[in-house]
Amino acid sequence: MTTGADAIAIRARGLTRRFGKLVAVDHVDLEVPAKRVYGFLGPNGSGKSTTIRMLCGLLTPSAGEIEVLGLRIPAQADELRPHIGYMTQKFSLFEDLSVCENLEFLAAIQGVPKAKTKARIDALIGQYHFGDRQKQLAGTLSGGQKQRLALACAVIHEPELLFLDEPTSAVDPESRRDFWEKLFELADAGTTLLVSTHLMDEAERCHRLAILDRGALVADGTPHELTAQLEGRTFIVETADPRRAQRALDGVPGVLGVAQVGNTLRVLTAAGAGDVTQRMGQALAAAAQKAEVAPAPPNLEDVFVAATRKGDGDGERAA
Amino acid sequence: MNWRRLWAIVVKELRQLRRDRITLAMVVGIPVFQLVLFGYAINTNLRGLDVGIVDQANTAGSRALVLDMLATGVVAPVARADTPQELMAMIRRGRISIGIVVPPDFERRRIDGRAVAQVLVDGSDTAVQGAAAQLMQVPIDSAVPDTRAPLTSTPASGRISVVGFYNPQRRSAVNIVPGLIGVILTMTMVLFTAIAIVRERERGNMELLIATPLTSAELMVGKVLPYVAIGLVQTSVILALGTWLFEVPIRGSVLDVYLASGLLILANLALGLLISTRAQSQFQAMQMTFFVFLPSILLSGFMFPFAGMPKLVQWLAEVLPLTHFLRLIRGVMLRGAGLGEMWGDVLALAAFVLVMMALAILRFRKRLD
Ligand SMILES: Nc1ncnc2c1ncn2[C@@H]1O[C@H](COP(=O)(O)OP(=O)(O)OP(=O)(O)O)[C@@H](O)[C@H]1O
Ligand SMILES: [Mg+2]
């Protein structure tokens, strides 16, 4: 089950999951390279957790094929389990056990050799900064501390493949940096990581990422590839009254999205929208707005907006 | 079955339990409270008790007397024997609960006005003693052609002597306490495990557990083992209080008492696990527990005499572990019988444990859907 340098750790084809009428995951094709950090970017309810659950064999797909570390899932899910670590979105450790007791429990369950358990737990307590709260009950930890403990427990048996479902949702920006440092260390050590998030700055750090929207995979590639596709389609509008300018721009054909960023507006235009800059200028003039329109380098947020508003108006999207 | 993983589950359960002060208090609190509460008995009339008959006189008069006693409907004959000793052995084994002995000198006694027959009673069940009192009302003179008018004849009180075995003073506590072990174990044990798995599902722990190599059997057995110990602690509390407060005897071997209790504990834990695999919430688990608990109390023979129930209900009651346990524990504690003499009930309990445990393990899926 060892995977080569540029091997594929996870392969899914036509992956679909229905809950009654709702299609939570809709024909998703995935290829996750080994020993990399692969990001899952998507808004609430886009099917990130459902996809992860299917990939680790916890949910049976309604349709589609999955191969993880060369094993067919869900048929061979039992063989897969010793090789994966899974950090759930909701805190799933035992709140009435202490930090240490949770680690001991998982070490035993995951089959960390008895002789090595003590050293492994000590190392994790050091690495994850639990030195002064080993005896504290997990339930009384702060949100960010809980997620740190959950990560420590997920990696205790040094799995080949880690599924992390929104691992930093409660972590402050400073500690998040530390958290991601750990993820890259793991990737360097040969672990494949699949991390779901709805934070752009996190997505930017991933080696590769997939963008999910309403169950469908709408874009995937390296962050660089994804932003490069939008070259020439993003603009910054500087104006005295951004709110009025935004209203003026909203209806312009070819404009996919207008977002206020401080005192400026960030505008994303559709591919092949022709003279969209000219039309924007006209619309602003019509609204008696003095404005400066300048091209800007695209970022992942633009990729996200472009991908999720391809094909349809923005009316359907529920926040 | 990986022993280290199994043990990890056991340790985890014990650690969680140690921090759960209320549950810990209940472990001892429930038995003490119930024991004091149920200190007094509920007596009821009953019909169709299993009776064994020894007619050593075998005269027309004695046969008529026996027929009259059967005609009361209180007893139904299941066995005949040649000596009172045989009857006593049958009572001991739980085959019959009442024995009727007509001595060889029946005719002489009838004329002399002495007691003409003896009713042997299994006093380990107070309700049976109540029924025996009804048998004493059979008018002796109607049994034989006599000058006196049959219907107005004096009741035979004093002419049929009742000999109570095993609980001569007819104290209810003696009868209630052994049963109470069963009732308390049924109440607490089913609930403990019924909630055990549902709670982990509700708290989200289950999603973590099923993503690990832990197997269903390890999880189920690991959850059951700590509670077996707790059940035995409860058993000890009731036994100690019962002997101290109510002077309840333990006539059989203490080992048998614990073996029988152990079987009931396992049966209830396994049943709880099965409930746990079905229930979606702790509330549902509680409801299902009471769905089983009430029939157990009402039909097992704890509250109302088993023999007094319609056949259909009796069959239903045979499915309940408490029914079998009550027979065992009363046999051991009050009649001094050994488990070997009541192997049918032992087997029934063991079978129940195996079936429930297997069902629970098979029903538990390492899946979220
Ligand atoms: N067990 C279930 N039964 C019914 N619907 C479900 C179930 N699990 C998920 N869903 C639905 O499937 C969709 C995708 O849910 P999922 O949890 O995968 O989203 P997500 O991308 O992880 O969202 P979030 O960022 O909020 O965690 C949602 O609309 C959700 O309501
Ligand atoms: Mg989610």
Please name which ligand lies nearest the alpha carbon of A88.
2
Partners of residue A137 in chain B, C-beta under 8 Å: 19
Residue A51 CA, ligand 2 centroid: distance in Å: 9
User: Six-digit token pair at A175?
Assistant: 């500690």
Look at ligand 1, atom 22, and give the residue with the nearest C-alpha: A49
> What pLDDT sits at residue B164?
62
Check CB contact of B2 with chain A, cutoff 8 Å. yes
B21 touches chain A (CB under 8 A): no
Give the residue on A whose Cα is nearest the Cα of B15: A97
Q: Do B204 and A91 touch (CB under 8 A)?
A: yes
CB contact under 8 A, A92 and B204: yes
Which of A2-6, A208-212, B167-171 is most confident? A208-212
Closest Cα of chain A to B86: distance in Å? 58
Is B368 in Cβ contact with A88 (below 8 Å)? no
**Contact across the interface for B211 and A78, Cβ inside 8 Å:** no
Give the span between the Cα atoms of A313 and B166, in whole angstroms.
87
In this predicted structure, what is the pLDDT of residue B235?
Answer: 92
What does the pLDDT read at residue A6? 65
Q: Which residues of A fall within a CB distance of 8 Å from B7?
A: 108
Domain boundaries, chain A: 34-48+83-221, 230-309
Subunit contact B12:A94, Cβ cutoff 8 A: yes
Is the CB of residue B18 less than 8 Å away from at least one CB of chain A? no
- Ramachandran angles phi, psi of A267, nearest 5°: -115, 130
User: 3-class SS at B98?
Assistant: strand
Superfamily the domain A34-48+83-221 falls into? P-loop containing nucleotide triphosphate hydrolases (3.40.50.300)
Instruction: Judge contact between A298 and A208, C-beta under 8 A.
Output: no
Chosen from B212, B214, B366 to mutate, greatest number of chain A CBs within 10 A: B212
Tens digit of each residue's pLDDT, chain B (369 residues): 899 999 999 999 999 999 988 888 888 888 888 887 776 544 444 567 888 888 888 888 888 888 888 877 777 888 888 888 888 888 888 888 888 888 888 888 888 777 788 888 877 776 677 677 667 666 665 444 443 333 333 344 456 666 666 655 555 667 778 888 898 899 889 888 888 889 999 999 999 999 999 999 999 999 999 999 999 999 999 899 888 887 788 888 999 999 999 999 999 999 999 999 888 888 999 999 988 888 888 888 887 777 778 888 889 899 999 999 999 999 999 888 888 889 999 999 999 999 999 999 998 888 887
Q: Which residue owns the Cα nearest ligand 1 atom 30?
A: A45
Measured by CA distance, the residue closest to atom 29 of ligand 1 is: A45
Among protein residues, the one with the nearest Cα to ligand 1's atom 6 is A19
Overall average pLDDT of the A291-314 stretch: 77
Of A2-11, A97-106, B344-353, least confident by mean pLDDT is: A2-11
CB contact, 8 Å: B14 with chain A?
no
pLDDT band at residue A124 under the 50/70/90 scheme: very high
Structure tokens belonging to residue B2: 């990986």
> Best of A19, A169, A198, A317 to mutate for ligand 1, by most ligand atoms within 8 A of CB?
A19
> A242 CB under 6 A from ligand 1?
no
Q: Note whether A110 contacts B212, CB cutoff 8 Å.
A: yes
Q: Identify all chain A residues contacting B208, using CB atoms and an 8 Å cutoff.
A: 86, 88, 92-93
**A59, A92, A95: residue with CB nearest B369:** A59
Give the highest mean pLDDT range of A295-304, A308-317, B153-162.
A295-304
Question: Which tens digit of pLDDT belongs to each residue from A127-183?
Answer: 999 999 999 999 999 999 999 999 999 999 999 999 999 999 888 888 898 899 999
**Domain B49-165 falls in which CATH fold?**
abc type-2 transporter like fold (3.40.1710)
Mutate to test the interface with B, among A51, A96, A99, A102 (most CBs of B within 10 A): A96
> What ranges do the domains of chain B cover?
3-41+173-363, 49-165
Looking at the CA of A62, which ligand is closest? 1
**How large is the average pLDDT for residues A206-230?**
91
What pLDDT is stored for residue B168 in this prediction?
53
Task: Detail the DSSP E strand segments found in B235-312.
Answer: none
* CA-closest residue to ligand 1 atom 16: A47
Chain A: residues touching B (Cβ < 8 Å): 53, 56-60, 74, 77-78, 81-82, 84, 86, 88, 90-97, 101, 104-106, 108-111, 114, 137
Q: Which atom of ligand 1 is nearest to the CA of A25?
A: 14
By the CB < 8 Å criterion, does B208 face chain A?
Answer: yes
Cβ neighbours of A58 in B, within 8 Å: 207, 210-211, 366-368
Interior angle at CA B364, CA B360 and CA B369, nearest 5? 150
For the domain A230-309, what is the CATH code?
3.30.70.100
Nearest by CB to residue B368, choosing from A58, A94, A101, is A58
**Nearest chain B residue (CA) to A82:** B213
Q: Looking at chain B, which residue has its C-alpha nearest residue A77?
A: B211
Helix, strand, or coil here: B31? helix
Q: Whose CA is nearest to atom 17 of ligand 1?
A: A49
Predicted pLDDT at B42: 43
The pLDDT of residue B327: 92
Tokens in use for B365?
């899926």
Cβ-Cβ contacts under 8 Å, A101 against chain B: 12, 15
Q: Does B16 touch chain A (CB under 8 A)?
A: yes
Instruction: State pTM to two decimals.
Output: 0.78
The CB of A48 under 6 Å from ligand 1? The reply is yes
As a whole number of angstroms, the distance between CA A64 and CA A19 comes to: 15
Asked if the Cβ–Cβ distance from A114 to B369 is below 8 Å, we say no
* Residue with token string 């709670």: B199
- CA of A88 from ligand 1 middle (Å) equals 13
The ipTM is 0.85
Ligand nearest to the CA of A319: 1
**Sequential DSSP letters for B213-249:** S--HHHHHHHHHHHHHHHHHHHHHHHHHHHHHHS---
In this chain, the answer to whether the domains covering A34-48+83-221 and A230-309 adopt an identical fold is: no
